[in-house]
């Protein structure tokens, strides 16, 4: 028999081999490839590919290693995202997984667990709907739209409990590794050692052990970031995608640029599962799917225990003399501390100052590779003061005198988290002088990627804040995600505008999501919360609707705009990025590609245009945006992935999250 075998980390879709008849789809096999032997997975029997002089499969290493339905999912990802099976298998079977397969893992012990809280009425209604579908054993996708603090996790937990009682298993996807421990502890509380996490933060050995344990059915609840969508799980009945709007579900770095949420829905279809997508700020496409009946909508529109949403006040920075922390925010911060409560301060910008500028000649220090302003970082955890390019990570020593005119002393412009941290510390010190309160120095924690780089550091900070050992948590997007700190009564948003100026059709949506999520951290306990939102654009609708905390109004406004412009969910986008070291050559090649695309008359082709970050390191970057109706078979664009112009790299992103 002739069979097709996909081999991880190859650019080729599949290889064809000869074999005896006892081979199945999904078998892990050892095959000769060039002068070596390697592992592969059987993806098709009775291959019709016209290839002569076939080599023979050496042996079957593991019978039915990947279930057929998952092979179908991998094939769908390869087809939809215009990638090869070899590339998909690279993600699905990370390196070293195939070394030493069939590891034996000791069974987990179920433990007696915490008493669950009584669900609210809306929670009960949602749980019942999901359970009814689980009992019917049919594929269905739910969008669980629940405002911040409405208890979405309890819905997941109850539904998971039902699945486990019936002997099934549950997969929970979380947007980021740093959020895994949080949800893990909630599930662990309820289900004990039947819960496991799998993610790239584990060592290769730990990950391999976890993978095989899950594959053998040793655990009931599997929690992990986007790559967990590939893991084979026997008797899987339900997939939950928590914070489904989060852009981390999209693979940004390399092809295939898959979206784990959409892949989870497809897996649900192929394996006949219940899929639950949860969010307080659903992606526009998802809410639209719920409107047109593709998903079933479940809503939780009240916070648990009748707690109210925080009161949000806007502070117009145009009248604040360019102060980074307005007097109103300063006063509220001191008040919060004096009351013994906690605060979160949010700013989506790392470092001390985003620009260094010469007051004499106007020179701005820029990255020698990318031409973008270098960000000044103060000494940090053993690293000296540096200037750092946030696009390519190029670093240099800090300089004080202008290298251009040699006369001016460089000044800091703007503020990042380090600078705000200094200001907040000063506010704390002032309060202490004024009120002679007990020592509250050392009460500010900063969390951004500079700090979270070290493994376990983010978790340590969250734990410290949760224990109340610190009173102010200051940070970037990392602090906006689904955390639940009941003593936080103040959220201060230093600058609501950071994303709004990006040239992207999603910038309003992203702004609304970010602001609503961070505001939702306030007032989750017994005390009412407030939010102060500083902005230069109080009239912008994303900012306005986030102040009103009205997702539906925002959705209605946004969906009208999308319709007018014929953007997703009304059309499909494919982004073609071309990069290379020679600016003229990539411009020429991109133009050729655009011309070829323009010959397809059913699609609209925009560009080539320079990327927002045109030069990164040594590469110049341009992009072509292709827009098509959803019924257009975009497999016709596969030729793009097969082009190999010299000196250029071509990257094809189906359903891109960023379009600049």
Does a cis peptide bond (omega within 30 degrees of 0) precede residue 238?
Answer: no
417 to 456, contacts with Zn ion by CB under 5 A? none
Task: Mark the segment that binds Zn ion (CB under 5 A) among 349-357, 403-411, 493-501, 637-645.
Answer: 403-411
> Min. distance of Cβ 620 from Zn ion in angstroms?
13
Cβ closest to Zn ion, residue 99 vs residue 395:
395
Instruction: Measure the CA–CA gap between 562 and 308, rounded to whole angstroms.
Output: 32
Instruction: Measure the CA–CA gap between 413 and 541, rounded to whole angstroms.
Output: 28
Q: What angle do the packed helices 68-80 and 85-92 form, to 10 degrees? A: 120
Listed in sequence order, the residues at least 6 apart from 127 whose beta carbon sits closer than 8 Å to its beta carbon are 119, 155, 158, 159
Listed in sequence order, the residues at least 6 apart from 456 whose beta carbon sits closer than 8 Å to its beta carbon are none
Cβ closest to Zn ion, residue 371 vs residue 456:
371
Q: Which of 389, 420, 518, 657 binds Zn ion (CB under 5 A)?
A: 389
> Min. distance of Cβ 502 from Zn ion in angstroms?
18
Q: Which of 269, 404, 557, 592 binds Zn ion (CB under 5 A)?
A: 404
Task: Mark the segment that binds Zn ion (CB under 5 A) among 84-92, 253-261, 404-412, 462-470.
Answer: 404-412
Task: Mark the segment that binds Zn ion (CB under 5 A) among 93-101, 225-233, 358-366, 566-574.
Answer: 358-366
Cβ closest to Zn ion, residue 232 vs residue 414:
414
Q: Is 366 in the site for Zn ion (CB under 5 A)?
A: no
Total of residues contacting Zn ion (CB under 5 A): 15
Q: Is 363 in the site for Zn ion (CB under 5 A)?
A: yes
Q: Is 360 in the site for Zn ion (CB under 5 A)?
A: yes
Q: Which of 57, 196, 309, 367 binds Zn ion (CB under 5 A)?
A: 367
Which residue do the tokens 């103060």 mark? Answer: 378
Task: Mark the segment that binds Zn ion (CB under 5 A) among 5-13, 280-288, 398-406, 486-494.
Answer: 398-406
Cβ closest to Zn ion, residue 341 vs residue 658:
658
Task: Mark the segment that binds Zn ion (CB under 5 A) among 115-123, 182-190, 278-286, 367-375.
Answer: 367-375
> Min. distance of Cβ 400 from Zn ion in angstroms?
12
> Min. distance of Cβ 364 from Zn ion in angstroms?
10
Alpha helices (H) along 225-354: 260-271, 284-291, 327-338
Determine the straight-line distance between the first and last CA of the chain, rounded to whole angstroms: 48
- Helix (H) or strand (E) run with residue 589 in it: helix 583-598
- Cα dihedral 170, 174, 176, 177 sign: negative
> Min. distance of Cβ 363 from Zn ion in angstroms?
4
Joined tokens for residue 397: 């020593």
Q: Which of 51, 405, 411, 635 binds Zn ion (CB under 5 A)?
A: 405
477-512 as b/e: b if 16+ CB within 10 A: bbbbbbbbbebbbbbbbbbbbbbbeeebbbbbbbbb
Instruction: Measure the CA–CA gap between 364 and 411, rounded to whole angstroms.
Output: 10
Task: Mark the segment that binds Zn ion (CB under 5 A) among 53-61, 397-405, 517-525, 619-627.
Answer: 397-405
Q: Is 361 in the site for Zn ion (CB under 5 A)?
A: yes
Q: Which of 402, 431, 470, 626 binds Zn ion (CB under 5 A)?
A: 402
Instruction: Measure the CA–CA gap between 294 and 292, rounded to whole angstroms.
Output: 6
Q: Is 394 in the site for Zn ion (CB under 5 A)?
A: yes
Q: Is 375 in the site for Zn ion (CB under 5 A)?
A: no
Cβ closest to Zn ion, residue 125 vs residue 391:
391
Q: Is 365 in the site for Zn ion (CB under 5 A)?
A: no
Q: Which of 23, 29, 312, 358 binds Zn ion (CB under 5 A)?
A: 358
Cβ closest to Zn ion, residue 70 vs residue 410:
410
Joined tokens for residue 95: 């390196």
CA-wise closest residue to 445 among 496, 391, 483: 483
Cβ closest to Zn ion, residue 372 vs residue 575:
372
Q: What angle do CA 606, 610, 615 make, to 5 degrees?
A: 155
Q: Which of 304, 392, 587, 643 binds Zn ion (CB under 5 A)?
A: 392
Bridge-based pairing of strands 386-388 and 395-397 is antiparallel
Cβ closest to Zn ion, residue 217 vs residue 408:
408
CA-wise closest residue to 659 among 571, 543, 556: 571
CA-wise closest residue to 248 among 237, 240, 258: 258
Q: Is 369 in the site for Zn ion (CB under 5 A)?
A: yes
Which residue do the tokens 């034996």 mark? Answer: 104
* Footprint on this chain of Zn ion (rule: CB under 5 A): 358, 360-361, 363, 367, 369-370, 389, 391-392, 394, 402, 404-405, 408
């Amino acid at each position: 028999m002739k069979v097709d075998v996909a081999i991880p980390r190859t650019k080729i879709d599949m290889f064809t081999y000869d074999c005896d008849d006892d081979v199945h789809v999904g078998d892990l096999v050892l095959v000769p490839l060039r002068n070596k032997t390697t592992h592969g997975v059987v993806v098709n029997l009775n291959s019709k590919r016209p290839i002569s002089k076939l080599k023979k499969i050496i042996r079957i290493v593991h019978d039915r290693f990947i279930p057929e339905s998952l092979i179908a999912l991998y094939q769908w990802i390869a087809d939809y995202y215009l990638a090869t099976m070899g590339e998909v298998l690279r993600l699905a079977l990370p390196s070293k997984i195939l070394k030493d397969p069939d590891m034996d893992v000791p069974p987990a012990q179920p433990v007696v667990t915490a008493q669950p809280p009584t669900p609210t009425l809306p929670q009960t209604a949602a749980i019942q709907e999901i359970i009814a579908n689980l009992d019917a054993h049919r594929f269905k996708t739910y969008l669980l739209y629940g405002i911040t603090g409405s208890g979405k996790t309890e819905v997941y937990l109850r539904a998971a409990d039902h699945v486990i009682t019936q002997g099934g298993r549950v997969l929970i996807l979380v947007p980021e590794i740093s959020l895994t421990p949080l949800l893990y502890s909630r599930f662990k509380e309820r289900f004990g050692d039947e819960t496991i996490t799998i993610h790239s933060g584990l060592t290769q050995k730990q990950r391999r052990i976890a993978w095989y344990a899950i594959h053998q059915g040793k655990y009931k609840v599997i929690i992990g970031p986007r790559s967990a969508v590939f893991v084979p799980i026997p008797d899987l009945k339900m997939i939950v995608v928590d914070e489904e709007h989060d852009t981390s579900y999209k693979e940004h770095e390399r092809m295939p640029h898959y979206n784990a949420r959409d892949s989870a829905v497809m897996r649900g279809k192929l394996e006949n599962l219940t899929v639950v997508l949860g969010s307080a700020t659903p992606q526009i496409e998802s809410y639209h799917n719920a409107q047109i009946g593709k998903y079933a909508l479940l809503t939780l529109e009240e916070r648990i225990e009748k707690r109210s949403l925080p009161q949000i006040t806007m502070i117009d920075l145009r009248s604040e003399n360019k102060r980074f922390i307005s007097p109103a925010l300063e006063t509220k911060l001191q008040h919060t501390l004096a009351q013994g409560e906690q605060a979160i301060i949010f700013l989506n910008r790392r470092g001390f100052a985003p620009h260094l500028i010469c007051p004499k000649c106007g020179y701005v220090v820029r990255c020698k590779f990318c031409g973008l302003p270098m960000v000044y970082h103060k000494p940090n955890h053993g690293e000296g003061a540096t200037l750092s390019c946030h696009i390519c990570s190029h670093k240099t020593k800090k300089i004080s005198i202008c290298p251009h005119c040699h006369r001016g002393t460089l000044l800091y412009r703007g503020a990042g988290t380090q600078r705000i941290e200094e200001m907040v510390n000063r506010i704390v010190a002032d309060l202490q002088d004024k009120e002679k309160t007990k020592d509250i120095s050392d009460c500010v924690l900063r969390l951004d990627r500079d700090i979270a780089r070290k493994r376990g550091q983010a978790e340590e900070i969250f734990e410290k804040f949760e224990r109340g050992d610190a009173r102010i948590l200051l940070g970037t997007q990392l602090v906006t995600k689904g955390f639940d700190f009941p003593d936080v009564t103040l959220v201060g948003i230093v600058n609501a505008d950071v994303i709004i100026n990006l040239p992207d059709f999603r910038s309003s949506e992203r702004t609304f999501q970010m602001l609503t999520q961070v505001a939702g951290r306030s007032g989750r306990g017994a005390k009412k919360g407030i939010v102060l939102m500083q902005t230069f654009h109080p009239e912008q609708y994303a900012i306005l609707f986030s102040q009103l905390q009205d997702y539906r109004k925002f959705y209605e406004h946004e969906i009208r705009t999308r319709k007018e412009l014929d953007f997703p969910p009304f059309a499909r986008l494919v982004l073609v990025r071309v990069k290379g070291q020679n600016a003229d050559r990539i411009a020429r090649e991109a133009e050729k590609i655009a011309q070829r695309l323009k010959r397809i008359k059913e699609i609209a082709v925009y560009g080539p245009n320079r990327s927002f970050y045109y030069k990164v390191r040594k590469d110049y970057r341009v992009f072509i945006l292709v827009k098509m109706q959803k019924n257009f078979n975009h497999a016709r664009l596969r030729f793009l992935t097969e082009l190999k112009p010299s000196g250029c790299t071509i990257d094809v992103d189906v359903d891109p999250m960023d379009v600049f």
